[in-house]
Amino acid sequence: MSKKFTLLFAIIMLLFYSGIALSWEGYHPLTEEVERYYFRGQVEEIVSQSEYRRGLTQVARIRLIGGPKAGETVTITNHFEERNRFMSIILKESMPVLMVGFYRNGELQIHLQDVARDRGLVWAGLLLVVAILLIGKLKGLKTLLTLGLTGFIIIYLMLPLMLAGWPAIPVATFSALLIISIILLIIGGFNSKTVAAIFGTGGGVLIAGLVAYLVGNTANLTGLGTQEAQMLAVGQETLDMQGLLYAGIIIGALGAVTDVGMSIASSAYQLRKTNPQITFWELFSAAMEIGRDIMGTMANTLILAYVGGAVPFLLLLMHNQIHWLRIINMDFIAAEILSGVAGTLGLIIAIPITAMAAALLPRKNLY
């Protein structure tokens, strides 16, 4: 009965939110302008190569693997310059490349866009799938299902709603709670363990979002600390960039908080299963002690995840010997610090909420 309920719940929720997402008139997820076409190519030959002071110029023949002229060969000129991210490609024979084509005055123009990296990512993804299935077996299959559902909710539901002008914070919060419910119900089934984990994780995520909102407003964060945010603000002037910042903090904290909530709820569930006569305070104290042990590692994990994304920027600041007071007051740095603090606080708050819920829920399963 538990598995049937879980599957039915997941299907109903996905159908409901798919209807919302697909109702936006004129919205097409993950599409470029219709005038541009992206397709594969492969370098057949480097015809010539000449060096100059800061780089080199290459003339290469590329066989088109896809697109309107698949099977044909085109000759392109490639310029490479050191430390220029717009001219960072050095072509080699047999290298897979990404080509772009567009019509100009009725004629198809084809140019080199980038190195093709997707096949390497596909192999890495397949390796991950095999490892999950070999080690996790049935639970590994559930893990893959939850990964797919999480990606679906974020890409096809949450982001389209934000792009359509819906308030970012409520959308991110609701999406996070939806992800939490579906993931935990699929992984754990409909029982007291899962319900306790949902309560704890949901509470932690809500606290993280609330702290981010209150502190962010006090610190006058704009949400425009990154180049990507600035570009988005120019193209989409109606978007609330500050709200998007807080939404990102909520989603960023989701993974670690879910891990903590499920670990504590599962441990408490096993303790009660082993000793059905355990009292409320004994179970609550044991769950809290387990949570404290988890907190020590997960808090560091969350902080390091945020720091890891800013390493090049931090090195640049250190290299230029910028004063710490200037650094900490930068919009980007302040946003990263707030992300780490809010996410870690949500993780910590999830511990007593999960422990309390696990101790309060009925001794029998809920199905």
pLDDT in tens, 236-282: 767 778 888 888 888 888 877 888 888 899 888 888 888 888 888 99
Of 117, 105, 113, the closest CA to residue 74 belongs to 113
Domain assignment present for 156? yes
Q: Average pLDDT for residues 115-131, to the nearest whole number?
A: 88
Of 125-134, 243-252, 354-363, which one has max mean pLDDT? 125-134
Domain assignment present for 302? yes
Q: Residue 24: exposed, middle, or buried by beta-carbon count in 10 A (0-12, 13-18, 19+)?
A: middle
* 85 lies in the same domain as 151: no
Kindly report the average pLDDT of the chain as a whole number.
80
Domain assignment present for 18? no
Separation CA 243–CA 233 (nearest Å): 12
Q: For residue 34, what pLDDT is reported?
A: 44
* 106 lies in the same domain as 226: no
The CA-to-CA distance between both ends of the chain, in Å, stands at 7
Domain assignment present for 321? yes
* 111 lies in the same domain as 143: no
User: Can you give the residue range of the structural domain that contains 289?
Assistant: 139-360
Which of 78, 101, 116 corresponds to the end of one domain?
Answer: 116
Q: Average pLDDT for residues 8-32, to the nearest whole number?
A: 47
Provide the number of structural domains found in the chain: 2
Separation CA 56–CA 61 (nearest Å): 16
Spell out where 53-191 has E strands. Answer: 55-64, 73-81, 96-104, 107-115
Q: Pick the range with the lowest mean pLDDT from 16-20, 131-135, 161-165.
A: 16-20
24, 163 Cβ separation under 8 angstroms: no
* 52 lies in the same domain as 144: no
Instruction: pLDDT band for 352, please (50, 70, 90 cuts).
Output: very high
Domain assignment present for 350? yes
* 191 lies in the same domain as 334: yes
* 101 lies in the same domain as 155: no
What is the DSSP code (8-state) at residue 23? T
Whole-model pTM: value is 0.70
* 240 lies in the same domain as 300: yes
**At residue 31, does pLDDT exceed 50?**
no
Q: Identify the residue whose tokens are 């419910």.
A: 181
